[in-house]
Amino acid sequence: MPADVRWSDSVYRAGLMCRVCRDVELHELRYAGRILAASTCLRCGAVVKHDEGDLRKAYLRDLESRLRTKPHRMVKRAVRHPAKFIGHLPSAIIHKPLSLLEEAKPLVGSLAERARLLGRANQARGL
Ligand SMILES: [Zn+2]
């Protein structure tokens, strides 16, 4: 992920070459976990999106990898900084599920959009 201005948990900004503007412009980068989901040129609005199916697969593969290595990373953290680890544990237990939901928003958004379009198509067919 870019070490640029952090916008929120899953949205960053960075200067990238825009294929429409043909210049380096500020882009908004949306991540699903550690996977780049989409970039939007803040000058012209051109969007480059990760393919929906590939994004879902890549995100789930990445999430599986992070979950598999989480116990090892937690033990390393606990050994390295025990007091800090214990101090942050209650907050982490509360906030981790919320941060997982936040990072999965690009996936949920595309599923919600598909459900909305399907509902509209069914409505048009009288279903
Ligand atoms: Zn542009």
Residue 119 Cα to ligand 1 midpoint, Å, equals 33
Within a 10 A sphere around the Cβ of 29, how many other Cβ atoms? Answer: 20
Residue 122 Cα to ligand 1 midpoint, Å, equals 36
pLDDT band, very low/low/confident/very high, at 113 (cuts 50, 70, 90): low
Q: How far apart are the first and last CA of the chain?
A: 44
7, two tokens:
């916008």
- Decide: 38 and 31 in contact? Cβ < 8 Å: no
Report how far apart, in Å, the C-alpha atoms of 2 and of each of 13, 15, 48, 84, 94 are. Answer: 8, 10, 17, 26, 27
Q: Where is pLDDT greater, at 4 or 59?
A: 59
**Most confident by average pLDDT, 35-39, 52-56, 93-97:** 35-39
Residue 68 Cα to ligand 1 midpoint, Å, equals 39
pLDDT digits (tens, 9 = 90+) for 43-70: 999 999 988 888 889 989 999 999 999 9
Task: Report the alpha-carbon distance of residue 64 to residue 82 in Å, rounded.
Answer: 26
Task: Report the alpha-carbon distance of residue 29 to residue 50 in Å, rounded.
Answer: 11
Residue 30 Cα to ligand 1 midpoint, Å, equals 16
- Decide: 50 and 21 in contact? Cβ < 8 Å: no
126 in the Ramachandran plot: left (φ > 0), alpha (ψ -120 to 50) or beta?
left
Assess whether pLDDT exceeds 60 at residue 8: no
Assess whether pLDDT exceeds 60 at residue 5: no
Residue 72 Cα to ligand 1 midpoint, Å, equals 42
Q: Where is pLDDT greater, at 1 or 14?
A: 14
Q: Does the reported pTM lie above 0.85?
A: no
